[in-house]
Structure 1
C-alpha cells in the first residue's frame, strides 16, 4: 500500500510550480495546531448568537485532539512519506510527529462538520478551506493519501459527535441549573 501511496504523492509532485509552491505552505499553515479553527471557535464564542456553535466546535476540536493526537498518532506510529522517500525536496519544515491520521485534515473536517451539524451556512467556506488544507498536506509530501482520508473521515465523525456532546452537556447543565 505504501508504494501505491508514494506513487500518488509522486504524481502530485508533477504539478509543482512556483505559484503552488508559494501558496500551499500558506494554506497548510492555517491548519497548524488547528489555529484557524481555534480562532474561529473563539470568535463564535464571543458573539452571543453564535455561542452554541462555538461550543459545538470546541467540543469537536477537543474530541479531535484526544482521538487524533493523543491516541491514534502514537498508537499507529506511521512514518512520514518524506522519510520513506528521502529524495523528495520539502518546501516546509519537517513535522516531527507521526503521520497517521492527518491532524490538519481531522481538525479541519471536525470544524466543518460541527458547523454543518449546527446548521451554520459558514460550513460551506469552511469545507472549501478544509479541502485545500487536506490537499496541501499531500502536495507538501508530509502525509500519505490514507492519512488525509482517515483525517477527513475521523474529523467528520468527531464534528458530528462534538455536536452531540455539546447537546448532551447542555441538557445536563440545564437540568442542574433548574
Structure 2
C-alpha cells in the first residue's frame, strides 16, 4: 500500500468517526494552534520571567525558523493539495485553509515548542507534548491534513528545535538574554 493510499484511508476513516463532542474538542485544539498562537503566548510568558527568559527566547527562535522553513519554503516547493481538495466528499468543520498541505504548520510549530521543552528537559514537557499531539491530530480529524503532512510537521519541528537547543547548550555561557532583550527594546 503506497503512502497516499494510507493517507486517504486515515482521513476517510477519521471522517466516519466524527461526532459532535469530539468535533468541538478538535476545533478547539486546531484553533489554539492557528499561527502557533498558543506557543507564542507560552514563550512570551516565559520571556517575562528572568528565570525562564532564555527558554522563551529559544521557543520563539525555533518557531520563527520552523515557520520560515515550513510555511515559506517547503509548502511552496512541494505544493501538495489538501485532503478536502483531493477528496470532494470530506465534510469540513472549519474554514478551508488557503495554503498548501505539506508539512502541517500547526504540527511543526507545536513540535518545535515541545522539542525545546524536551531537549532542554523542562518541566511540563509532557503537558506540552499532549497539547502538541492533540493539535496535530485535530488537523487530520478535521480533514485539512494527511497523516504524512503531520509526520512531516513533527520531523520539521523536532529537527529545528534540536538544532536551536544544541546551539544554545553549546553557547549558553556566552548568551545573555537580559542584554539581548534590552537591545530589542531600545
TM over 0.5: same fold? yes
Query: Cα offset for 1:67?
Result: 1.0
Kindly provide the CA deviation profile for residues 155-177 of structure 1, in whole angstroms up to 9, marking residues without a partner as x: 11111112134456656656xx9
1:42-121 alignment to 2 at 5 Å? 42-121=44-123
* Pairwise CA RMSD: 1.6
Kindly indicate whether the alpha-carbon contact (under 8 Å) linking 2:15 and 2:90 is maintained by their aligned counterparts in 1. Answer: no
Alpha-carbon distance between aligned partners in 2 of 1:98 and 1:44, rounded to the nearest angstrom: 32
Q: Distance in 2 between matches of 1:123 and 1:173?
A: 23
Aligned to 1:142: 144
- The corresponding residue for 1:40 is 42
Shift of 1:8: 1.3
Unaligned runs of 5+ in 2: 180-186
In 1, the alpha carbon distance for the partners of 2:122 and 2:175 equals: 23
Q: Tell me if the contact between 1:56 and 1:118 (Cα under 8 Å) persists in the aligned partners.
A: no
Question: Which segment drifts farther, 126-135 or 160-169?
Answer: 160-169
Q: Provide, for residues 15-34 of structure 1, a one-character-per-residue CA deviation record: whole Å limited to 9, x for no partner.
A: 11110111111110010000
CA deviation digits over 1:68-89, x for unaligned, max 9?
1111010101000000001111
Q: Which moved more, 1:94-103 or 1:13-22?
A: 13-22
* Partner residue of 1:29 out of 28, 31, 50: 31
Cα separation, 2, equivalents of 1:69 and 1:131: 19
TM-score normalised by length of structure 1: 0.92
**Contact 1:63–1:162, Cα closer than 8 Å, also in 2:** no
Tell me the TM-score normalized by structure 2. Answer: 0.88
